[in-house]
Chains A and B, each alone.
Chain A
Amino acid sequence: MQTLDVTLDVNGRTHSLQLDPRTTLLDALREHLGLTGTKVGCNHGTCGSCTVHVDGRRQLACLVLAASAAGRAVRTIEGLAAADGTPHPMQAAFVAHDALQCGYCTPGQIMSAVSCVEEGHARTDDEIREYMSGNLCRCAAYPNIVAAIADVARAA
């Protein structure tokens, strides 16, 4: 099998992997690094559950080849809490507002929500709704997701 040597920087740690060139960033995280917090929901960029940060921007890990993420800073849900384990304010807000039910889309929602605030797209509830609509929640925790993000945005 043809493989590529790929060095990934994930949550501040460097990982050297030998990967099939077809491997997506999503599968590299989940199947090769055991970082299963990033979820698979469609594999074609329609649901948002695999949202991670690449060089500080939200991206869909299912649409990124792992090899193309080499040398870039990847952050996943596992890398969001502080070093001492204190949850990120967005994680705490999701718990406080009951902004999840089954929890499967939640890591992607949170990664997207952190970006949404950082991008300055959380100034109103309607803006949050618009800029969070790439992250589907079939349980439909949407009103609580909006409340959680608005809370964090106000504090920021």
Chain B
Amino acid sequence: MDGGIGLPVTRRDAPGKVSGDAQYAADFPHAGCAYAALTTSSIARGRIVRIDTAQAERAAGVQMVLTHRSLNEGLGEETFAMKGGHMQSSFLPLTSDEVHYAGQIVSLVIADTQEQAEAASRLIAIDYDAQPASASMDDGDRVEKPLESKSIDVGNANAALAISPVTIDATYVTPAQHHNPIELYATSAEWREGRLLVHVPSQWVMGTRMGLATIFGIPAEDVHVECPYVGGGFGGKATILPHTVLIAMAARRLGRAVKLVVPREAMFTVGSFRPATRSRVRLAAERDGTITAVSHEQAGQSATIDHVSFAVTEVTARMYASPNIRVRESTVATDVNTPGFQRAPAEAPGFFGFECAVDELAVALGMDPVALRTKNEPARDPVGNLAWSSRKLTECFARGAELFGWSRRTPEPGSMVAEDGALIGYGCATACYPSASGPSAARIRYSADGVCIVSLSAHDLGTGAYTVMGQIAAEVLGVPNHLVRVQLGDSTLPSGIIAGGSVTTSSSGSAVHVTALAVRDALLRAAGGGELVDGFVVSPDGSRRPATEVLAECTSGFIEETGVWKPDSISDKQMQNGLAGGMAFSSALGKYATYSFGAQFAEVRVDPLLRTVRVHRMVGVFDCGRIINPRTARSNLAGGMIWGASFALLEETQIDRKRARFANTDLAGYHFSTNADIGEVVVEMLDGSDTLANPIGTKGVGEIGIVGMPAAIANAVYHATGVRVRKTPIQVEDLLV
């Protein structure tokens, strides 16, 4: 058994990725393909009063120019993901003369070649009637809108804050950020006899299929979304981006395949992004470190065109045992493209402020930050009094502190100095991410040649799903790893789940598990009873024969089963909707409170004069339930931690407030970690299956890695310098005080 659960099986998709054979969306050939180029609005709000496309239309090779004047097709009603639809935004560009945000698509040129399309797109002349606009939630005219349904009150936090001997009251801000996957957004669309074939990088091929079918008024089976590999998703490719609809429409009108590769600059506005946040955190404690009140009020940036909220406080409210808890959420509408999911959408920004405040409380108490967290570890969910399905946060901190060498830390800021004179800072923070799941199907064919094919329309964004799904089947069927094949990322396969919210392994992995059990049972029935042990059928009389021998006796030469799994809290109706491509998730709060946890540590080195910050090393210890593949899980968690380091020190989509637009819209201006920015990264995962979460005992892995890291680094910077920076990214000028 070399390919079962818990083994560090080599990534199944790696050979194709290192050879260049793996085909991403823009790599699929389409015969006779035309190429598209976008133009986007230069103003942030107002109307298009004149658009002159004559020159562009006359340019060499141009086949079509689409603007709001030419787009008058009756399209089916679709809305954006947070209203139950599949689109990134409820607003489809080119459907009116209105401009709602800077960088909105205002025309699409289609020509015989890429070069012709790009050249012609520059010939389009547009006059606007520009109206005042705000792209920053800090602009003076913006209004904070409370979301009362998100409020939580336990006891009386305000009263406890008023009488407790030690209190913290601080406000923390995080900026807008962009996913910036290395793979650009790209869409190729082709119609063949009324059926639509789309190649698009997608974290949700079934949702994309359903949405496009609705928009174009055709049956879902007539839409084929093929996307075996995604070149980085991080939430940005979870929904249908508007240009995919426009490209499909252009392809239908032209009767020809059309391909668009979105330029990096336009990536900032034709998709979504992580909205800015502002968190006020108040904490109170007795002098011995017993927390008496937790209060977290978060305001998040939203859009004028679509209301978007990522409520983190329902998670932070559950971090510490406190008799008094008060959380509030609000949003601030701005004139920007609709924000969306970006890796740990609520948790990454929300835990920055919250876990920095816990560090500030530790300093105020004169207490070790690990000890403070451990002392206030809640035995049950402090809001709803639910039992945890599993919560090994204290063990995470104990093991993390040991791995990191936390005991070497001297608490006084600036008290640790490296040989080269750099100031050393040690910091830590808690990470947590809700472990949800949803319905999924899977198909497994086990053939007489020993090959086992696992097929489902889930996705491998680099997360390891190709490897993990096969391991789950191999575990049940005892198939050697080299005979396992996995097919993902194609809407013609049995319905997998959206790759979002860290749900893939728990949901689609559970579906593969129950399907493998069905194949095993069918195999044993065909064998006339017995047990399946390491690929052999062992009869009640003790005789053994290879499973492949039984399969060879089946008329078809294989056994194939399609199975479905859903969490208990999801109804059959919700399941059907989910399998068809709708959104259907269980909550982390059901019979139990189900979350992944982590303890994260950082050592920074700060130049005493220049105040540059380097992340010297990071340690993360996680409780994510059962780990199917420690190799791919470790890479995923380490990648998340490096995202956290980027978040803390580098990432910010800067806003030109006067012109209400994003300013640094390329990879020269938008910084994230390069190889030279990252030192040692140590990841450990605690053993332990959480079978209260699902039958395979897993919790989410994909997002928790980032969650605690920004605060751990900010807390380390404080420890190195004595300067408390309550914003990200932490930059040199913040430390020149």
Residues of A130-147 whose CB lies within 8 A of B: 130, 132-133, 135-146
Question: Which residues of A sit under 8 angstroms from B646, Cβ to Cβ?
Answer: 140
Q: How far apart sit A133 and B180, CA to CA, in the bound complex (Å)?
A: 17
Q: Is the CB of B13 within 8 A of A103?
A: yes
Stretch at the interface among B441-449, B533-541, B665-673: B665-673
B200 CB to nearest chain A CB (Å): 14
Q: Is the CB of A87 within 8 A of B666?
A: no
Question: Which residues of A sit under 8 angstroms from B181, Cβ to Cβ?
Answer: 102, 104, 138
Nearest A-chain residue to B669, judged by Cβ: A46
Q: How far apart sit A44 and B20, CA to CA, in the bound complex (Å)?
A: 21
Nearest A-chain residue to B267, judged by Cβ: A42
Question: Which residues of B sit under 8 angstroms from A76, Cβ to Cβ?
Answer: 20
| Interface 1/0 per residue, A32-68 and B, CB below 8 Å | 0011111111111011010000000000000000000
Q: Is the CB of A137 within 8 A of B18?
A: no
Question: Which residues of A sit under 8 angstroms from B261, Cβ to Cβ?
Answer: 40
The answer to whether A105 has its CB under 8 Å from any CB of chain B is yes
A87 in complex: contacting residue of B15, B29, B115, CB < 8 Å: B15
Residues of B12-65 whose CB lies within 8 A of A: 13-24, 26-27, 29, 60-61
| Interface 1/0 per residue, B630-642 and A, CB below 8 Å | 0110111011001
Q: How far apart sit A103 and B116, CA to CA, in the bound complex (Å)?
A: 30
Question: Which residues of A sit under 8 angstroms from B677, Cβ to Cβ?
Answer: 133
Q: Is the CB of B17 within 8 A of A106?
A: yes
Number of chain A interface residues as a range:
35 or more
Known: A103-B13, A139-B462. A34 touches B29 (CB 8 A): yes
Q: Is the CB of A39 within 8 A of B116?
A: no
A91 CB to nearest chain B CB (Å): 4
Q: Is the CB of B182 within 8 A of A138?
A: yes
Question: Which residues of A sit under 8 angstroms from B184, Cβ to Cβ?
Answer: 40-42
Question: Which residues of A sit under 8 angstroms from B98, Cβ to Cβ?
Answer: none
B232 in complex: contacting residue of A22, A30, A130, A138, CB < 8 Å: A138
Nearest A-chain residue to B705, judged by Cβ: A140
The answer to whether B597 has its CB under 8 Å from any CB of chain A is no
Q: Is the CB of A103 within 8 A of B680?
A: no
Question: Which residues of A sit under 8 angstroms from B179, Cβ to Cβ?
Answer: 138
B182 in complex: contacting residue of A41, A96, A144, A145, CB < 8 Å: A41
The answer to whether B725 has its CB under 8 Å from any CB of chain A is no
Q: Is the CB of B20 within 8 A of A138?
A: no
Q: Is the CB of B642 within 8 A of A105?
A: no
Known: A20-B113, A102-B230, A142-B642. A39 touches B183 (CB 8 A): yes
A84 CB to nearest chain B CB (Å): 14
Residues of B601-654 whose CB lies within 8 A of A: 631-632, 634-636, 638-639, 642-643, 646
Residues of B455-508 whose CB lies within 8 A of A: 461-463
Q: How far apart sit A31 and B182, CA to CA, in the bound complex (Å)?
A: 19
Number of chain B interface residues as a range:
35 or more
Q: Is the CB of A1 within 8 A of B678?
A: no
Question: Which residues of B sit under 8 angstroms from A41, Cβ to Cβ?
Answer: 182-184, 264, 667
Known: A91-B19, A100-B18. A22 touches B119 (CB 8 A): yes
Most A CB within 10 A of own CB, among B184, B666, B674: B674
Known: A43-B263, A46-B668, A102-B231. A23 touches B115 (CB 8 A): yes
The answer to whether B524 has its CB under 8 Å from any CB of chain A is no
Q: Is the CB of B182 within 8 A of A91?
A: no
Nearest A-chain residue to B667, judged by Cβ: A46
Known: A42-B666, A98-B632. A141 touches B639 (CB 8 A): yes
Q: Is the CB of A98 within 8 A of B631?
A: yes
Q: Is the CB of A1 within 8 A of B676?
A: no
| Interface 1/0 per residue, B226-243 and A, CB below 8 Å | 000111111000000000
Question: Which residues of B sit under 8 angstroms from A96, Cβ to Cβ?
Answer: 10
Q: How far apart sit A144 and B18, CA to CA, in the bound complex (Å)?
A: 14
Question: Which residues of B sit under 8 angstroms from A119, Cβ to Cβ?
Answer: none
Q: How far apart sit A42 and B27, CA to CA, in the bound complex (Å)?
A: 16
Nearest B-chain residue to A104, judged by Cβ: B231
A77 in complex: contacting residue of B20, B29, B463, B675, CB < 8 Å: B20
Q: Is the CB of B666 within 8 A of A103?
A: no
Nearest A-chain residue to B61, judged by Cβ: A1
Question: Which residues of A sit under 8 angstroms from B11, Cβ to Cβ?
Answer: 95, 98, 100
Question: Which residues of B sit under 8 angstroms from A27, Cβ to Cβ?
Answer: 114-115
Q: Is the CB of A141 within 8 A of B114?
A: no
Question: Which residues of A sit under 8 angstroms from B19, Cβ to Cβ?
Answer: 37, 77-78, 80-81, 87, 91
The answer to whether B723 has its CB under 8 Å from any CB of chain A is no
Nearest B-chain residue to A130, judged by Cβ: B676
Nearest B-chain residue to A94, judged by Cβ: B18
Most B CB within 10 A of own CB, among A47, A77, A98: A98
| Interface 1/0 per residue, A83-125 and B, CB below 8 Å | 0000100011011101011111111001000000000000000
A140 in complex: contacting residue of B26, B264, B639, CB < 8 Å: B639
Nearest B-chain residue to A85, judged by Cβ: B19
The answer to whether B681 has its CB under 8 Å from any CB of chain A is yes
Q: How far apart sit A23 and B463, CA to CA, in the bound complex (Å)?
A: 35
| Interface 1/0 per residue, A13-25 and B, CB below 8 Å | 0000000101100
Known: A39-B183, A42-B264, A104-B232. A137 touches B675 (CB 8 A): yes
A97 CB to nearest chain B CB (Å): 10
A114 CB to nearest chain B CB (Å): 12
Q: Is the CB of A101 within 8 A of B182?
A: no
Q: How far apart sit A76 and B635, CA to CA, in the bound complex (Å)?
A: 27
B7 CB to nearest chain A CB (Å): 14
Q: Is the CB of B638 within 8 A of A143?
A: yes
Q: How far apart sit A78 and B675, CA to CA, in the bound complex (Å)?
A: 25
Q: Is the CB of B10 within 8 A of A95?
A: yes
A78 in complex: contacting residue of B20, B643, B668, CB < 8 Å: B20
Question: Which residues of B sit under 8 angstroms from A137, Cβ to Cβ?
Answer: 182, 675
Q: Is the CB of A102 within 8 A of B668?
A: no
A107 CB to nearest chain B CB (Å): 5
| Interface 1/0 per residue, B661-695 and A, CB below 8 Å | 00000111000111111101100000000000000
Q: Is the CB of A104 within 8 A of B24?
A: yes
Q: Is the CB of B234 within 8 A of A133?
A: no
Question: Which residues of A sit under 8 angstroms from B232, Cβ to Cβ?
Answer: 102, 104, 138-139
A80 CB to nearest chain B CB (Å): 8
Q: Is the CB of A36 within 8 A of B635?
A: no
Question: Which residues of A sit under 8 angstroms from B24, Cβ to Cβ?
Answer: 36, 39, 104
Q: How far apart sit A145 and B230, CA to CA, in the bound complex (Å)?
A: 20
Q: How far apart sit A128 and B674, CA to CA, in the bound complex (Å)?
A: 12
Most B CB within 10 A of own CB, among A22, A40, A44, A47: A40
Known: A47-B667, A136-B672, A144-B635. A129 touches B264 (CB 8 A): no
Nearest B-chain residue to A105, judged by Cβ: B182
* Smallest CB-CB A-B distances: 4 pairs: A37-B20, A104-B231, A101-B462, A103-B17
Q: List 14 A-B contacts (CB under 8 A).
A: A27-B114, A31-B114, A36-B26, A42-B184, A46-B264, A77-B18, A87-B19, A98-B631, A101-B461, A102-B181, A103-B462, A129-B675, A142-B678, A144-B638
Beyond the given pairs A36-B20, A141-B635, A144-B635, 6 more chain A to chain B contacts, judged by CB atoms under 8 angstroms and listed by A's residue number, are A20-B113, A39-B183, A100-B11, A102-B233, A139-B639, A142-B678
